[in-house]
Amino acid sequence: MNAAAVLTQLFAVIVAVAAAPLFLGWVNVCRAWLQNRRAPPLAQPYRTIGKLLHKEAVLAHDVSPLFRFAPYAIFGSMATAAAIIPALGLDLPFARAADAIALVGLFATARVFAALAAMDTGTAFGTLGARREMMLGFLAEPALLMVFFTASLIAGSTELPVIAGTHQSHTLAVHPSLAFAAIAFLMVLLAENARIPVDNPSTHLELTMIHEAMVLEYSARHLALIEWAAALKLFNYACMGFALFLPWGVAVDLASPPVLAGALAVLAAKLLLAGAALALIETVNAKIRIFRAPEFLAFAFMLAVLGLLVRLLVQE
Amino acid sequence: MAEPAVLLNAALVVVAGWLAVGAAGLLRPHATALIARLLFPLGALGSIVLTAVGLAALSAPPATRILPIGLPDLPLHLRLDPLAAFFLFLLGSASTGISVFGAGYFRAGAGTSPGLLCLQYHVFLATMAMVLLADDAYAFMVAWESMALASYFLVTTQHRIGAIRGAGFLYLLLAHVGAIAILLCFGVLQGGSWQFTFDAMRGADLDATRATLAFALALLGFGAKAGLVPLHVWLPEAHPAAPSPVSALMSGVMLKTAAYGLLRVTLDLLPFPLWHWGAALLALGLFSALFGVIFAAVQTDMKRLLAYSSIENLGIVFAGSGLALLFHAERMPLPAALALAATLYHCLNHAMFKSLLFLATGSVLHATGERNLGRLGGLIRRMPWVAWTALVGTLAIAGLPPLNGFVSEWLLLQALLLTPEVPRPFMNMLVPLGASLLALTAALAAYVMVKFYGVIFLGQMREPALADAHDCGRLERLGLLWLALACVLLGLLPAPVLGLLDGVSAELLGASLVHPQASSVWKLVPLSAERASYSPLVFLLGIVALLGASALVATRVYRRRVRRAPPWDCGFPHQDARMQDTAEGFGQPIRHIFAPFFRMHRELPSPLDAVPQYRVTVEDRFWSLLYLPLARLVTRAARLVGGIQQGRIAVYLLYSFLTLLVLLVIVL
């Protein structure tokens, strides 16, 4: 492990943390355009986070230290996830410490902390949100794992950089199993990031909330970190999708500045397109009832398992 | 490095010591202080010694010994090999924490006197060690049955309560059904040589049919002990009935003797492995795991919830051993060693976190007198020691990195990912479905544990009486800390643990997982670095660094003080503790999604009720589909047999005469 690799690793994390709110802003802008609304500024998520960081924090009387610790744990998990996902380059020294299964575990850790913190307040909406979030989680997590397994059976490894590298090298080989996996992954992305049709990120109706209900009791810096972590989660999911299904343009070695600039440009282009696509999906779909969400995710799970079976049947 | 024979002797000394400690308890059966301050810590000392012995014997060659105890011409054959050493290590390390906790926990009360309890507890420990050391069928069966009896008496400590006597009886019944199956299994295994030492069984000449019969009997016998579905019904009844340290011991350690027995018979005593045994074991194990976790999610009693979660974890263990068997039968030594390592690792992990959580429920029970999740809540503010150590156990059992539950899950998933290489066209496709079931189970386990922890320790107190709850005592804290530390260490240092397990896989499978060039203390590389690696310490360091950085930035930028206020809850002013989600509420999505698994009765209130009541009961379908018909059949058969009972001596003489006639006809 050399200094250059550590620096690029650090750079990748900083890029992810810094760019995540921008990506969220872009999705919001696209949504507004598609829905004939006047778009908020691209930098609105930054402004929100900055505003929250300067507000007075209010804590419920009898919350435990767990409640105050959870936002940091959630943010830390998401930032660590950004260090594992090969968004810019394949040469990530930290990615050797944790593979795709550990990445799924990391997302689960963040989810469990969020749910525990929501239960800590002991309010009706907090516990309701925790239950719903865990319900979506136990359906989405195995689906995500199956998507990773399909990809890792092709690559013969569960290390994300190796998977992305393998998919990069067979440029023209089309894997039918990956098509199933991609649809399943998209559905998991929508559910896990509280997007329409499963949840609505801009909802103001408490009874339909999932993610928002969990974080109702947070304010100021805690809320800022949670919002930032949510943006980072969306960014991470997008980058995971790129690593699995569109790995082209990710640099093998980030050492030289032109390569780095190229990788950044490709990532920016991919994110622009992905953000627009996400906004389109959210615009043309209606939010489903919460009782239908398990069916939605069970379908994603089935698709992912089918992808795995197709992979084994066809032996591409 | 100590001599193997010395290690075996040391283990026997510990066993004898435990028996002596137990007997000493009988001398002054009501001297609670003496028993708590002296005898239980002495027992814990024995556990520590046994831990060291197990650790040392893991890499030592096997040692054998013949003890001339018991019937004439039937001495006890004992053997300490790496497999037994691993389970002795598990027994020692888990029971250290449990005994220390027990020293602070047991006190005089209704039911069995402390002295008798001390005897039963230590006999239970000693017989579990003897099960692991036994090297012939007689010694094994004697130890196995004594273990069942000792635990039966422990379960029925509160024998004045009818439901507990019922639970104990059910446990005893299934333990005996299992024991008969194991006895028959040994009968098949001796293969006509009528030699009942394990050594003779290893060399016995069995054909595939007989071997399969022996496997099926072992599966039945050990499955009954492990709570494999459909033989699981005793587990959710017996574990909650016992005092919490005993529940911890039963769930954390005794269930593992079933895993030990299964591994001993399938990988050691049976002459060859067959792939369909592995497949059967894998399917049954995965079904048990899913079944257990789904039922755990709808429980409203905290100890029943943990008992169902034990069914889940033992299902994972059985699935792992099935996978190891499958790979072994297909002559794939490395994947087999990986699956075996995952199985053993999960046994060890489950022993730690499940004991920890059962002990935590014991402290909660002592502090509040309440087992019903509907009357708990908010205890993190009254019982911080219990709550924070239980949090470690909760996160570990939920399979979250970097704690120990994740490591075994990771290893097992890695092993499952190798199944497409199995050269059997049907298997290599079905087994990845197993991976999906395992993933679903693991994700559901997180759901269950959030429910468990959140409802007991977080939120507002559901009863006013909880405000008087007290934290546990000093010894209890020590016991909890020991187990929590074990969860953390087993999670952070998987590579050295895997190195220790290597002796077992070398003994049973003749394969070694350890690559000196790839693995190091902080990096786990089970097969090759290209394939997968996991370094929990680096991982933890990364999380902590980023977490710390975010905290630093947030507190630097943030310049205001923190204000305390009532919870907002969207501005609703009249909230009380009853508006939180209950355990039933948390189970609702599971009841909805997995409805076919349950037999549900629901009573819904009508809008006109003055005092609306809502009631839902969830039952196991196996009761109505399997056990009740079976019980009816037995009753009917008993009544038929009872028909020949006339109560007149002349009729009985007639029976004897007829029997004699029939026998004479047969003989002549």
Residue B599 has pLDDT above 70, yes or no: yes
pLDDT averaged over chain B?
88
Q: What is the pLDDT of residue A179?
A: 87
Q: Which residue of chain B is at minimal alpha-carbon distance from A52?
A: B558
Q: What is the pLDDT of residue B86?
A: 94
Q: A112 vs B429: CB contact, 8 Å cut-off?
A: no
Q: A75 vs B546: CB contact, 8 Å cut-off?
A: yes
Tens of pLDDT, residues B261-293: 999 999 988 888 888 899 899 999 999 999 999
Interface test with B, best of A80, A153, A295 (most B CBs within 10 A): A80
Q: Of all residues in chain A, what percent carry a pLDDT higher than 90?
A: 39
Residue A310 has pLDDT above 80, yes or no: yes
Contacts of B533 in chain A (CB under 8 A): 96-97, 99, 159
Residue B340 has pLDDT above 90, yes or no: yes
Of residues A101, A134, A308, nearest to B410 (C-beta) = A101
Give the residue-averaged pLDDT of B450-468.
88
CA B2 from centroid of its chain's CA atoms: 31
* Min distance A73 CA to chain B CA atoms (Å): 6
Give the DSSP H or E segment for A137: helix A124-155
Does residue B402 have a cis bond before it (omega within 30 degrees)?
yes
Q: What is the pLDDT of residue B51?
A: 94
Q: What is the pLDDT of residue A29?
A: 94
Contacts of A105 in chain B (CB under 8 A): 399-401, 406, 410
Tens of pLDDT, residues B140-180: 999 999 999 999 999 988 888 888 999 999 999 999 999 99
Answer left, alpha or beta for residue A308, where phi above 0 means left and psi between -120 and 50 means alpha.
alpha
Task: Please indicate whether residue A122 or residue A41 has the higher confidence score (pLDDT).
Answer: A41
- Long-range CB pairs of B25-29 (<8 Å, 24+ gap) are B25/B114, B25/B115, B25/B116, B25/B117, B25/B118, B25/B119, B25/B122, B26/B115, B26/B116, B26/B118, B26/B119, B27/B115, B28/B115, B29/B113, B29/B114, B29/B115, B29/B116
Cβ-Cβ contacts under 8 Å for A46 (sequence gap 6 or more): A21, A22, A25
Q: What is the pLDDT of residue B519?
A: 59
pLDDT averaged over chain A?
87
pLDDT-based confidence at B386, cuts 50/70/90?
Answer: very high
Start-end of H helices in B243-329: 244-249, 255-263, 275-297, 302-329
What sign has the CA pseudo-torsion B11, B16, B19, B25?
A: negative
Give the residue-averaged pLDDT of B109-117.
78
Provide the token pair at A65.
Answer: 């230290």
Greatest mean pLDDT range, A91-105, B96-110, B325-339: B325-339
Give the residue-averaged pLDDT of B238-248.
90
Q: What is the pLDDT of residue B521?
A: 67
Which residue, of B265, B297, B330, is where some domain finishes? Answer: B265
Provide the token pair at B466.
Answer: 């909880």
Q: Of all residues in chain B, what percent carry a pLDDT higher than 70?
A: 97
CA distance B629 to A217: 52
Provide the token pair at B284.
Answer: 């049954």
b/e sequence B378-394, b meaning 16+ C-beta within 10 Å: bbbbbbebbbbbbbbbb
> Tell me, what DSSP letter sits at residue A288?
P
Q: What is the pTM of this model?
A: 0.93
Give the residue-averaged pLDDT of A48-56.
87
pLDDT-based confidence at B194, cuts 50/70/90?
Answer: confident
Question: Taking a C-beta distance cutoff of 8 angstroms, is the pair B401, A98 a contact?
Answer: yes
The torsion angles phi and psi of B79, rounded to 5 degrees, stand at -150, 135
pLDDT-based confidence at A1, cuts 50/70/90?
Answer: low
Give the residue-averaged pLDDT of B24-29.
85
Interface test with B, best of A96, A113, A138, A216 (most B CBs within 10 A): A138
Question: Taking a C-beta distance cutoff of 8 angstroms, is the pair B128, B213 a contact?
Answer: no
Residue B2 has pLDDT above 70, yes or no: no
Q: B570 vs A76: CB contact, 8 Å cut-off?
A: no
Asked if residue B480 is part of any domain, the answer here is no
Of the listed ranges A248-252, B402-406, B428-432, the one predicted with least confidence: B428-432
CA distance A259 to A91: 13
Give the residue-averaged pLDDT of B406-410.
92
pLDDT-based confidence at B610, cuts 50/70/90?
Answer: confident
b/e sequence B629-642, b meaning 16+ C-beta within 10 Å: eeeeeeeeeeeeee
Answer left, alpha or beta for residue B369, where phi above 0 means left and psi between -120 and 50 means alpha.
left
Q: What is the pLDDT of residue B516?
A: 54
* Min distance A16 CA to chain B CA atoms (Å): 13
Give the residue-averaged pLDDT of B533-558.
84
Closest among B315, B254, B263, B243 to B91, alpha carbons compared = B254
Say how many domains are in chain B: 2
Of residues B442, B563, B575, nearest to A57 (C-beta) = B563
b/e sequence B598-624, b meaning 16+ C-beta within 10 Å: beeeeeeeeeeeeeeeeebebebebee
Give the residue-averaged pLDDT of B248-252.
92
Tens of pLDDT, residues A152-206: 888 888 888 888 888 877 654 567 888 888 999 999 999 998 888 888 877 777 7
Asked if residue A308 is part of any domain, the answer here is no
Tens of pLDDT, residues A244-274: 888 887 877 767 788 888 888 888 999 999 9
pLDDT-based confidence at B421, cuts 50/70/90?
Answer: confident
Which residue, of B265, B295, B319, is where some domain finishes? Answer: B265
Residue B469 has pLDDT above 90, yes or no: no
Q: What is the pLDDT of residue B334?
A: 87
Q: What is the pLDDT of residue B637?
A: 94
pLDDT-based confidence at B108, cuts 50/70/90?
Answer: low
For residue A89, what are the β-bridge partners? Answer: A251
Cα–Cα distances in angstroms (integers) from residue B159 to residues B105, B113, B172, B244, B411, in the given order: 19, 11, 14, 15, 43
Give the residue-averaged pLDDT of B359-364.
92
Of residues A53, A73, A146, nearest to B558 (C-beta) = A53
Domain that holds residue A257: 3-139+204-288
Instruction: Please identify among residues 39-58 of chain A the ones whose CB lies closer than 8 Å to any CB of chain B.
Output: 53-58
Interface test with A, best of B581, B588, B590, B592 (most A CBs within 10 A): B581
Count other C-beta atoms under 10 Å from residue A50's C-beta: 13
CA distance A92 to A85: 9
Closest among B180, B175, B141, B139 to B155, alpha carbons compared = B175
Provide the token pair at B227.
Answer: 């709570």
Q: Which residue of chain A is at minimal alpha-carbon distance from B530?
A: A157
Question: Taking a C-beta distance cutoff of 8 angstroms, is the pair B390, B365 a contact?
Answer: no
Asked if residue B33 is part of any domain, the answer here is yes
Q: Is B294 exposed, middle or buried (0-12, 13-18, 19+ CB in 10 A)?
A: buried
Q: What is the pLDDT of residue B32?
A: 82
Domain that holds residue B637: 591-667
Provide the token pair at B392.
Answer: 């470690």
CA distance A25 to A44: 6
CA distance B292 to B236: 10
Which residue, of B265, B291, B307, is where some domain finishes? Answer: B265
> Tell me, what DSSP letter sits at residue B38?
I
Asked if residue B557 is part of any domain, the answer here is no
Asked if residue B553 is part of any domain, the answer here is no
Cβ-Cβ contacts under 8 Å for B433 (sequence gap 6 or more): A305, A308, A309
Give the residue-averaged pLDDT of A105-112.
93
Instruction: Please identify among residues 65-124 of chain A the ones whose CB lies closer than 8 Å to any CB of chain B.
Output: 66, 72-73, 75-77, 79-80, 83, 94, 96-99, 101-102, 105-106, 108-109, 111-112, 115-116, 119-124
Q: Of all residues in chain A, what percent carry a pLDDT higher than 70?
A: 97
Residue A57, classed as helix, strand or coil, is strand
Of residues B417, B450, B557, nearest to A158 (C-beta) = B417
ipTM exceeding cut-off 0.90 for this assembly = yes
Say how many domains are in chain A: 1
Closest among B484, B486, B226 to B359, alpha carbons compared = B484
Question: Taking a C-beta distance cutoff of 8 angstroms, is the pair A208, A200 a contact?
Answer: yes
CA distance B173 to B165: 12
Asked if residue B8 is part of any domain, the answer here is yes
What sign has the CA pseudo-torsion A149, A151, A157, A158?
A: negative
| Maximum Cα interatomic distance, chain A, rounded to a whole number of Å | 60
